Amino acid sequence: MNKANKQIKKVVIAGGGTAGWMTAAALSKLLGKNLEVILVEADDIPTVGVGEATIPTLHIFHRLLGINEREFMAATNATFKLGIAFESWRDVDQHYLHSFGFLGQGCWAADFQHFWLKGKKLGMVSDIGDYVPEHLAAREGRFAVVEDQARNHAYHLDAGLYANFLQKIARQHGTKRVEGRIENVVLDDKTGFISSLKLANGKVVEGDLFVDCTGFRALLIEQALHTGYDDWSHVLPCDSAIAVQTKTVAKAVPYTRSIAHGAGWQWQIPLQNRTGNGLVFCSKYMSDDKAKKTLLAKIEGELLNEPRVIKYKTGTRRKHWNKNCIAIGLSSGFIEPLESTGIHLFQKAIVRLMLMFPSQGINQSDVDEFNRQSKDEIDNIKDFIILHYHLTERQDTPFWRYCRNMEIPSTLQHRMALFRESGKVFKKEEELFGETSWVQVMMGQGLMPIAYHPIVDLMSDNELQQFLQHIRLATRRKVDSWPDHLDFIKQYCPSKVAN
């Protein structure tokens, strides 16, 4: 029996961190009865560990694993996240919020923005965010989790504590952890498949299927298998980040702050016990020293650790599954942290692997389908991230002038033109970001449609006014029923971790 058709009974995960332990927890709990799962990680190799903001799709992963929200939040110092505030992105001192949730109410032919656009023309609407409960609640610092509520919230969390939380689940369900630094990836002479990992301490870990969670180093998928990388830095030019943690001094808000600066942007992520801060920048336009000074000048509170510089190249591995190796996490590529898609991409790859798990042997059709789905998903997310940089009125620095004038993918050009000319947004089946997200960001960045769907004109002006007012008042009533979000956290999921 050749290596490709060999039954998969032993999975080796190379690397820990969030990606590694998410993979281990899912495989061991959901597929583990017939599977041996081994995770190899070195105690002396730090993880990137700054992916501290999530999006609502994490609920899907937690539901699969039976994770209790209150326990998870208490264990990871988590707070609620209802969206992202984009400050100075459209132009200096012009701000907007991209919230989770759904925008108003549409009809079979036209989404809500078409009704709102006519209402705006007639002077009968307020800010479009007033028609989204999560948007209004984020601005007012309110939130609660109630029974039968749609799960349109996400979290700010401590990535290191999250990996520890998942490690407990994985090990409870049989994952074995092997400590050691990977020194050599051994390939089969005939098939080119990975046969084992040789560790610096002399241990050899054999397996049938290998998952590369070694981060930017990509020890298996790239250094051993030479899979290749598509570089996106011409459209996503930021290539560096500096991260630092501080004591919390201001009241935590239920959203991530993304504050644009002359050569990139700064994040601010409030947890229960501290604040995560970082600066994303393009090294062509800002040095590491200048970036560090810029970040330290703009943060509040005592530093809890030394600022550290993280270098990366935006892009994607040409294949996320190559031979008997699947890349999950930063080894598969990196878009950038702007819309908090990192952990989402980890979980989608894990679920995709479980759906196509090659228990009877690796079939090329499964590999091809896995890679096709991975490519489609990441291409769509890439377009959404490029939108924030390109659709800007900023011309105050060389960085923003480059972003305004850079050539963008034809798929994004089409989306922007469609929205500008007709107000229409169409979501593809496998796409992450839906109509509400595209509408909020395009309008927030200054792109307003010149037309709306003609079905709106079937309503009289009075009917339209009543329709819009009903949605706004229903949104208002819902948000008024929610308490202060920090008060809710104190009774719902107070941190169990010492400050």
Catalytic residues: 81
> Please, is 138 exposed, middle or buried when counting C-beta atoms within 10 Å of its C-beta (0-12, 13-18, 19+)?
buried
Structure token pair of residue 232: 């996106």
- Residue in the structure block whose two tokens are 């002077």: 123
Beta-carbon count within 10 A of 412 CB:
19
Percentages (nearest 5) of helix, strand, coil residues in the chain: 40, 20, 40
- Residue in the structure block whose two tokens are 């995709």: 352
Q: Print burial letters for 23-57: b (CB count within 10 Å at least 16), e (below 16).
A: bbbbbbbbbbeebbbbbbbbeeeebbbbbbbbbbb
Beta-carbon count within 10 A of 114 CB:
22
Phi, psi (rounded to 5 degrees) for 11: -105, 130
Reported for 462-465, long-range contacts at CB under 8 A and 24+ positions apart, including other chains, are: 464/115, 464/118, 464/119, 464/122, 464/124, 465/119, 465/122, 465/124
- Residue in the structure block whose two tokens are 């769907």: 453
Cβ 3 vs Cβ 358: under 8 Å: no
Cβ 312 vs Cβ 216: under 8 Å: yes
Q: What is the DSSP string of 129-182?
A: GGG-HHHHHHHHTB----TT-----EEE--HHHHHHHHHHHHHHTTPEEEE--E
Using DSSP's 3-state secondary structure scheme, residue 122 falls into: coil
Beta-carbon count within 10 A of 290 CB:
14
Rounded Cα gap, residues 128 and 159, in angstroms: 33
Cβ 379 vs Cβ 398: under 8 Å: no
Q: What is the DSSP string of 358-417?
A: -TT---HHHHHHHHHHHHHHHHHHHHHHHHHHHS----SSHHHHHHHHS---HHHHHHHH
Phi, psi (rounded to 5 degrees) for 76: -120, 15
Cβ 261 vs Cβ 288: under 8 Å: no
- Residue in the structure block whose two tokens are 């190899």: 40
